[in-house]
Amino acid sequence: MELFDAHLHLQLMANAAEVAAELASLRVGALACGVDPRSWEADRALLADVGTPASPIVVAAGLHPWWLADGRCGSPEAELLASICARTRWIGELGLDFSARRIERLGKEPQVEALTRACAAAAAASMAGQERVLSLHSVRAAGTCLDVLERTGAATRCRCVFHWFSGTTDELWRAVRAGCWFSVNEMGLATGKGREYAKLIPAERLLLETDHPAELGRPWSAQRVRESLERALALVAAARKADPAELQAQLVANARSLLA
Ligand SMILES: [Zn+2]
């Protein structure tokens, strides 16, 4: 494995199986994040056996806060995700989005409740060496998200990865102290704040991601994923004044320990 995408919506690409096979041949591993737990079984069946031990592709069960915010998912799906957390180590995308348009219809409560149920279930199912891995979305909600991770025990019992972290510097340090990991992408690294955070995050808790595809349900290509990861790597190396080859080796080692 030369690169690892810690937050890729592989199962939402029209040509998912083809992209997965190409990723393996390009030596790119991935954590494939879902958005609706009802598709987890089908996603797993579709993408079973596409990864290789050298370039693993793991399929996560997710419940995206936008799907809760607009009513596409609700309490039954929150319950389904919590039950799935007992059966798989890979959970994401889940989390909170408190931007105005995501809370105007139903408020914050359904999101907080779904995240709490999933985190509690994941923490209960986590065992030493079999920690649950969570890929977390948090927009204008990092403090509340950390409250939930700490209250449920997920912060200590699971490997919690903030995807595209956009909280304040204080919240970043709080997440670092809580033991969280961070996956960064080229969109975030295009901003001064994103580059500053890429410099501050402890080297052993840093991962790359793409959050591809740009449009769900359309065809995509593994080459675009790899190129985006390469651009993110170059931006992180510049921000940290690190040797790109050494940083790349560190990031692959991080991915391996995340999945171990
Ligand atoms: Zn995402």
CA of 176 to the centre of ligand 1 (A): 21
CA dist 259 and 131 (Å) reads 9
Q: What is the pLDDT of residues 149-170, one digit of tens each?
A: 999 999 999 999 999 999 999 9
CA of 7 to the centre of ligand 1 (A): 6
**DSSP 8-state assignment for residue 197:** H
Banded pLDDT at 69 (limits 50, 70, 90): very high
CA dist 78 and 166 (Å) reads 24
Q: Write the CATH number for 118.
A: 3.20.20.140
CA dist 104 and 177 (Å) reads 32
CA of 238 to the centre of ligand 1 (A): 25
pLDDT at 220 over 80: yes
CA of 9 to the centre of ligand 1 (A): 6
CA of 159 to the centre of ligand 1 (A): 17
CA of 91 to the centre of ligand 1 (A): 12
What integer pLDDT is reported at residue 50 of this predicted model?
79
Quote the mean pLDDT of the chain. 96
CA dist 52 and 113 (Å) reads 36
Q: What is the pLDDT of residues 28-60, one digit of tens each?
A: 999 999 999 999 999 999 998 777 788 899 999
> Using an 8 Å Cβ cutoff, are 210 and 26 in contact?
no
What integer pLDDT is reported at residue 238 of this predicted model?
98
- Total of domains in the chain: 1
CA of 249 to the centre of ligand 1 (A): 25
**DSSP 8-state assignment for residue 7:** E
Banded pLDDT at 21 (limits 50, 70, 90): very high
Domain hosting residue 213, numbered range: 3-259
Q: What is the pLDDT of residues 196-215, one digit of tens each?
A: 999 999 999 999 999 999 99
Banded pLDDT at 243 (limits 50, 70, 90): very high
CA of 50 to the centre of ligand 1 (A): 21
CA of 49 to the centre of ligand 1 (A): 23
Structure tokens at 193: 């704040």
Could you tell me what percent of the chain has a pLDDT over 90?
A: 93
What integer pLDDT is reported at residue 52 of this predicted model?
79
What integer pLDDT is reported at residue 55 of this predicted model?
85
CB-based contacts of 42: which residues, under 8 Å, 6+ apart?
none
pTM above 0.75, yes or no: yes
What integer pLDDT is reported at residue 127 of this predicted model?
85
CA of 223 to the centre of ligand 1 (A): 19
CA of 161 to the centre of ligand 1 (A): 12
